[in-house]
Structure 1
Amino acid sequence: MASITRRRAPKVSRPVSAEDEILAATRRILTGGASFTDLGVQQISVEAGVARSTFYAHFRDKTDLLLRLATDMLATSFDVASAWEPTDGLDKLAEDFLRILGVYREHAAVLRAVGEVATYDLTVRDFWSQGLAQFTDRTIAALRAEQAAGRTPADVNLVSAARVIVQGGERAIFDQVTTAPPTDDAAFARELAQTWWYGVYRRPA
């Protein structure tokens, strides 16, 4: 855990905003193993080299800060996921899942913090659920188009199937990133892609 006894030396290599400093400082502290629940605004401010008043000029509270960090992670992973089309095929889906795993690993400390805080904070829990909903909606739209084209069986329940693979996939990715080594990611991404592909998109009629 980063020390709170002295301020960090100001950075002179490139200009950054106080808000960016606060976000980066929080990532550093969390990556060092700190619990977000136990992390104080004073510690974050010292690590970022800003006053407490500056923190509150940019963020309402710690929850607001965490949501900003998580928003960046979700937006990046959604950009990757939404670029895939079923016509791209299974191999491309596996490649994209591997890229998403990379995003989650890069933000693993934030992912753990979200999981930690969501157990007791309704705002964070609802935020994460709404974030997953956009993945679910995107999947439903893709499956609906595939059914219309005759490539996905008509008896697939779009809403239920999308919820199963999106929410189940998110839990599996969380577990992979937080408990398994990166060397296992390629095999994991392939298995996840095959589950989606053969379990729903190309399920036998």
Structure 2
Amino acid sequence: MASTTQPRSKVRERREDVRRRVLRTTAEMMADGTPYTELPVQRIAERARVARSTFYLHFPDKSRLLIALADEAVEALFGEAVIWWGADHADGVDGVAHAMRQMIAAYREHRRVLHALGEVAGYDPDVAEFWRDRMRRFTEVVQARLDAELRAGTVDPEMDVRTTAQVLIWTVERTISAHCHHDEGTGDERIARTLARTIWLTVYGLPPGPPPERPGSDRSGSGGT
């Protein structure tokens, strides 16, 4: 008697197909202008042509659905920056600016998902932990490079590499997010160059010297006659 059990590979392919359909459908519905928080599971399932029960087999709740959507978006957002932090930095500020342009472009491409990620992370602990974990991973990439630069003597020996990495990551992410919410693209180059200069000077700039002497001041402390 022939077995009625489907091969595991077929079952896996079907599951992956359902998962892709749900993710693609959700992205399309968001692209139509519907905020993620206003998308009911029932509407997503109907449009993806899957049963509601099948939806929940793949995504136990909408938090897990958003995390699955955001995984690709976050990788796209930070991908080019990871490449720059691993490069030799021979191209100076221009190299950083290129990475910033790519990050801005990635944010614009995935802006609806990334906006939903930031919004939902404010009250959903699972989404918040996902976002913190991704930011932590990227911070570790930057921190490892700053540690190497510190050992090589190419940065300020007083640099707190862990805090510097955190400040750089959050500054870039928050700046790009705010910029893309209020600018349709005309200021992209200005933001990219400004972020690049900020990053470069923070990492490789000389530590500040004493304040310049003001005209007429007496550095000896003896005062006038």
TM (normalized to structure 2)?
0.79
Q: Determine the structure 1 residue equivalent to 2:20.
A: 20
Q: Determine the structure 1 residue equivalent to 2:205.
A: 203
Q: What are the superposed Cα offsets for residues 126-174 of structure 1, whole Å, 9 maximum, x if unpaired?
A: 2111111111111111111112222211111111111111112111111
Give the gaps of 5 or more residues in structure 1.
Answer: 1-15
Distance in 1 of aligned mates of 2:47 and 2:189? 35
**1:114 Cα deviation (Å)?**
0.9
Q: Determine the structure 2 residue equivalent to 1:3.
A: none
**1:50 Cα deviation (Å)?**
2.1
- How many pairs were matched up? 189
Q: Determine the structure 2 residue equivalent to 1:5.
A: none
Q: Who wins on radius of gyration, i.e. which is larger?
A: 2
User: Match for 1:157 among 157, 160, 183?
Assistant: 160
Q: Determine the structure 1 residue equivalent to 2:146.
A: 143
Distance in 2 of aligned mates of 1:178 and 1:30? 16
**1:87 Cα deviation (Å)?**
2.1
- State the percentage of identical aligned residues: 35
1:99-114 pair list within 5 angstroms: 99-114=102-117
1:59-138 pair list within 5 angstroms: 59-84=59-84, 85-88=87-90, 89-138=92-141
Query: Does the 8 Å contact 2:22/2:48 carry over to 1?
Result: yes
Check if 1:166 corresponds to 2:207. Answer: no
Distance in 1 of aligned mates of 2:99 and 2:28? 27
Distance in 1 of aligned mates of 2:115 and 2:53? 27
Residue identity in the other structure for 1:20: R
Residue identity in the other structure for 1:18: V
Give the gaps of 5 or more residues in structure 2.
Answer: 1-15, 208-225
Q: Determine the structure 2 residue equivalent to 1:46.
A: 46
* Coordinate RMSD, CA, aligned: 1.6
Q: What are the superposed Cα offsets for residues 97-127 of structure 1, whole Å, 9 maximum, x if unpaired?
A: 1111111111111011112211211111121
Q: Determine the structure 2 residue equivalent to 1:4.
A: none
Query: Does the 8 Å contact 1:36/1:117 carry over to 2?
Result: no
Distance in 2 of aligned mates of 1:101 and 1:87? 20
Distance in 2 of aligned mates of 1:202 and 1:174? 25
Distance in 2 of aligned mates of 1:116 and 1:43? 21
